[in-house]
Chain A
Amino acid sequence: KTGFTLKVSAALKEGRVTPTELCQRCLALIKSTKFLNAYITVAEETALKQAEESEERYRRGQPLGILDGIPIAVKDNFNTAGIETTCASNMLKGYISPYNATVVQKLLDHGAVLLGKTNLDEFAMGSGSTDGVFGPVRNPWSYSKQHKEKSVPKSHSEDEKSGWVITGGSSGGSAAAVSSFTCFAALGSDTGGSTRNPAAHCGVVGLKPTYGLISRHGLIPLVNSMDVPGILTRCVDDAAVLLGSLAGHDPKDSTTIQDDFKPFELPNLTDMSKLSVGIPKEYHAPGLSSEILALWSKAADLFKNAGAKVVEVSLPHTRYSIVCYHVLCTAEVASNMARFDGLEYGHRSDMKDSTESMYAATRREGFNDVVRGRILSGNYFLLKQNYEKYFVKAQKVRRLIANDFVKVFRSGVDILLTPTTLSDAAPYMEFIQEDNRTRSAQDDILTQAANMAGLPAINVPTALSERGLPVGLQFIGRSFQEKQLLTVAKWFEKQVQFPVIQLEEVKRHDSGVFQHQKSAAFS
């Protein structure tokens, strides 16, 4: 058992470090890494209070569990009582949630310390975390020794301004927060890959659970039939710990399954002979970098050499997944964004002529181009004359995509191995050359189908690219078989020994606790 949360939890129990010390160090690190723009709101006062309460529980010898006292961050599209929730949009600037999302409440009930809300693309629409009103998030790896060594030296000022790379998105803030050691875990959301994509670019573990396993109550919805809360951590064991505290039926979310969920620990895989790994050939997508292709192939060999059965499989409708998503997503967005009218919460325009003109002005002022674009497209596909042609058609194609997976898993394959992204993180200046929809269509291609079929999927950091930036690989599992998925992911993580990021800022704030994490990677 090498989970970092487990190690820190042990340290807290033994009194080698206190929750308030831990909280203070994380808050200090957040301050010194402010240039990353990972956090929209830092809840300093409440976090310290939570840490004090945790410390009291440890003093009495009654911690609430492994997560008691552990600092975590939450993507700013989850409602957090008393703390601003903005979705990185003008529409919700100043909106103080009156309640906690179920997943937030569960974390707090386990004693976790909520450090703050992380940055994202506006309303989680995007694949770069560049399109929010609070500005883009910078990938911590831009400032790593590993990347700087591989970068072409530029003039100092030029490098400062234009050299940094994106985090990916839309949960970029959460990924950057975990990657830069400012928290032990973070919540993201995943609708088309929004947790796995930034996880891959930031070198962290990104888990998308099965649709229906974790409650969406309080997660401001994008696509109700695909959204899931995502988990970002520095190792697979931690993801299992977080999953254990979050999964299970929620009476407030009728799309959560009623089955009992039992938290689990991950065994160490020794006998690989019973494992069948599928390699979907369609995931060799156009634009896939030769680097990642090579890594994917190397990974397949790793499994083969360990005794697992590795087979090429086919998911024939893969290339339509992104088109299907485009129609279904915009349609659901058109519906979900209708709630923002300025009347009960959020931004309200000064326009007073009529209800409709007030709504129109409010939405005109509150939403950015991307959001408005998706609402308009969605409404187009839902017009009476287009409904069958586009919306229902997309629902039919969705079934074909989901059936592709069913067929493959029925043929004896336990798990699928694919790349997560087409390449390593792009420089910001390059990324913004293309518009949001084009980028999303390109970047979601490898992650989207899992959302379409509702399957669990995880990004595991695998290696550094030639530019010294993280590259991850993705495992897709059977519905509700998170234990198997995470067990295989953990085995793979151990094999690849992904390097720890070397950041100047972290070195300055380093303490015995952080040393634990670094050494744990090599244990």
Chain B
Amino acid sequence: QKVSVEVLDHLEHLALVDFRDSEGVERLQKAIQFADQLHEVNTDGVEPMDSVLEDRWCLYLREDDVTEGNCTKELLENAREKVEEYFVAPPGNIPLPKLEERETFLQGS
């Protein structure tokens, strides 16, 4: 019933947020317990609903005309690290350290 450390670790990798402490893990446990109530409902033959507007609204496409843009300066304004017209990121393709090597609360589990 309890979520395994492997799954918790996997979630931290996927979400790129941390559980921080036992309260964080407990919060997830309670959330799952709460969500399990859904299984009391009989949904045989029921289609999943993506949008309440499914009947009235067809996702439409518009003409491929440029209507706005040329706002490089505004877009770069809020970035902390930039060079010329680039956003600067630290090196990519480096996976997060494994559980044993990472500084995470989950290490103790």
| Chain A residues proximal to chain B, CB less than 8 Å | 95-96, 98-99, 211-212, 225, 251, 254-255, 257-258, 317, 320, 323-324, 326-327, 330, 334, 341-346, 348, 351-360, 363-364, 367, 369, 372-373, 375-377, 379-381, 383, 389-390, 392-400, 402, 435, 437, 441, 453-454, 479
Contacts and interface: CB of A to CB of B under 8 A. Distances in A.
Given A379-B11, A453-B52, A399 B47 contact: yes
B16 A454 contact: no
A440 B48 CA distance: 25
B32 A380 contact: yes
Contact of A375 (B15, B43, B92): B15
B79 A345 contact: yes
A360 B77 contact: no
A355 B94 contact: yes
B46 interface: yes
Contact of A343 (B15, B27, B30, B87): B87
Nearest to A355: B92
B94 A372 contact: no
Contacts of A363: 16-17
A353 B90 CA distance: 7
Main SS of chain B's interface residues? loop
B16 A356 contact: yes
A402 B52 contact: yes
A437 B92 contact: no
Contacts of A381: 35
B87 A320 contact: no
A268 to B, nearest CB: 31
Given A356-B94, A372-B17, A323 B77 contact: no
Contacts of B35: 323, 326-327, 381, 390, 394
Contact of B49 (A96, A334, A380, A399): A399
Most A CB contacts (10 A, CB to CB) among B10, B35, B48, B95 go to B35
B51 A395 contact: no
The 5 A-B residue pairs with the shortest CB-CB distance, nearest first, are A454-B52, A395-B48, A354-B94, A345-B78, A396-B43
Nearest to B23: A369
Contacts of B27: 369, 373, 376-377, 435, 437
Interface string B50-79: 111100110110100000000100110111
Nearest to A317: B41
A98 B78 contact: yes
B83 interface: no
A324 B48 CA distance: 12
A433 B46 CA distance: 39
A374 to B, nearest CB: 8
Most B CB contacts (10 A, CB to CB) among A341, A380, A393 go to A380
Contacts of B23: 369
14 contacts: A211-B53, A326-B34, A348-B80, A348-B81, A356-B95, A356-B96, A369-B27, A373-B28, A376-B12, A380-B11, A383-B7, A394-B35, A395-B50, A402-B52
A142 B51 CA distance: 40
Contacts of B60: 254, 258
B91 interface: yes
Interface of B: 3, 7, 10-12, 14-20, 23-24, 27-28, 30-32, 34-35, 37-41, 43, 46-53, 56-57, 59-60, 62, 71, 74-75, 77-81, 87, 89-92, 94-97
A105 to B, nearest CB: 13
Nearest to B30: A437
Contact of A376 (B11, B46, B71, B96): B11
A342 B30 contact: no
Given A98-B75, A367-B17, A225 B51 contact: yes
Most A CB contacts (10 A, CB to CB) among B28, B49, B94 go to B49
Nearest to A224: B51
Contacts of B17: 360, 363-364, 367, 372, 375-376
A444 B56 CA distance: 28
B57 A212 contact: yes
Nearest to B18: A364
Contacts of A258: 57, 60
A400 B49 CA distance: 9
Contact of A355 (B31, B38, B41, B90): B90
A321 to B, nearest CB: 11
A360 B18 contact: yes
A254 B94 CA distance: 37
Nearest to B77: A98
B94 to A, nearest CB: 4
Contacts of B81: 348
A351 B60 CA distance: 42
B32 to A, nearest CB: 7
Contacts of A341: 16
Given A376-B11, A396-B48, 14 more contacts: A99-B74, A225-B50, A257-B56, A258-B57, A346-B78, A355-B89, A355-B91, A356-B95, A373-B24, A376-B12, A376-B15, A379-B11, A383-B11, A402-B49
Contacts of B74: 98-99
A400 B41 contact: yes
B19 A376 contact: yes
B94 A343 contact: no
A319 B9 CA distance: 33
Contact of B91 (A211, A354, A383): A354
Contacts of A369: 20, 23-24, 27
A323 B90 contact: no
Contacts of A376: 11-12, 15, 17, 19, 24, 27-28
Most B CB contacts (10 A, CB to CB) among A258, A327, A354, A392 go to A354
Contacts of A351: 90
Most A CB contacts (10 A, CB to CB) among B31, B34, B56, B91 go to B31
